[in-house]
Amino acid sequence: MKLNLSNVRALAVAVVAVGMSAVASARAEEPAGFQEVFSLIRSNLVGVSAADLDRAAVQGLLQQLQGRVALLTNGTAGGGAKASESLLGRTNVLEEAFGYVRVDRVEKGLADQLAAAHEKLNAAKKLKGLIVDLRFAGGLDYLAAVAAAERFLAGDKPLLQIEGKVLRSTATNVAIAGPLVVLVNRETTAAAETLAAILRKANAAMIIGAATPGQAGVFMEYPLKNGQRLRLASGMVRLGDGTALTGAGLKPDVSVEVKPDDERAYLADPFTDLNPAAPPKPGTTTAARRRMNEAELVRRQREGQNTEEDEFVGAGGDKNRQIMRDPALARAVDILKGIVLLKAARAN
């Protein structure tokens, strides 16, 4: 189209019209102001007292800002764990080669408890890797997160920036050897997600699970008139290189999405079948599959045998001979087995 003054004017009018339409649309989609809505509800809604509305407003704020704002009572735990209190859940050896440690909370003393658990699991010096489970773990002690991370790191390097201070690993630290996999989910919060982020940033661990919510932050508590305390995230938490964790969260290397209720059931028993098949017909047998350990996989690979997992008849029995139902944990075991196989292949 040949442009002349008339065409230019028409084009300008069209652009202005489109712009005004966009602005009007944007304004129409803007959320209503809190004070305006709250005032209208308080003045016109029948059957609800002012106290009820105040409680509803507070609950709404707490729910929408969950993780960054919390209302505490005198019975809410706010301090660190006692010296004799365990911060770990279940610990055991999987596939006769991989240590498993579940962390309940990241607080002072976790570093020593992790080291003690690893030493116990590795008493026979057979561990080929370690899985640290941080799913549903929390805590607000970022110094404890750094101390725990140091157990897996060697050398002097910046790990965390908090309140203007740079926290570094110790140059003389002797790290726990072997590949490390860390499990996280959407309820891995604050100091726990910070621990996972430090280990991943230092190339010390692979992260498996769902993205964490980004609730790491420096918290302050403010007393309220009724005796409760309001805890607010008032400062940023950053990794050693300045990457912000507050509000950003941690994206796993391998994403595994599991419903929270299912994942809690798997934490209680990773072999539990949440969707059992129909019972077999009378006179038939069912075969469950067992997961081979890494030594058996290496042997079969060297001898040119089938490396598929064996079948055996019967239900129940030793849980090491049952199917690993927990998707994230099963993926972690498979990855560690793959690392072991690669190391064996390179050694040959």
Instruction: Please give the average per-residue pLDDT across 20-48, as a whole number.
Output: 73
Rounded to a whole number of angstroms, the distance between the first and last alpha carbons of the chain is: 72
pLDDT tens, position by position, 112-157: 999 999 999 999 888 999 999 999 999 989 999 999 999 999 888 8
3-class SS string, 18-51: HHHHHHHHHHHHCCCCHHHHHHHHHHHCCCCCHH
Across the beta sheet with 254-255, what order do the strands follow? 88-94, 98-103, 129-133, 180-184, 206-209, 254-255
CATH code of the domain occupying 88-268: 3.90.226.10
Strand intervals (E) in 44-198: 69-72, 88-94, 98-103, 129-133, 158-162, 165-168, 180-184
Contact predicate 80/106, CB 8 Å: no
Q: Is the pTM of this model over 0.95?
A: no
pLDDT tens, position by position, 92-105: 999 999 999 999 99
Measuring CA to CA, which residue among 89, 108, 64, 338 is closest to residue 208?
A: 338
Q: Write out the two tokens for 216.
A: 């790491």
CA distances from 117 to 37, 121, 131, 180, 217 (A): 54, 6, 12, 14, 28
Where along the chain do its domains lie? 88-268, 287-347
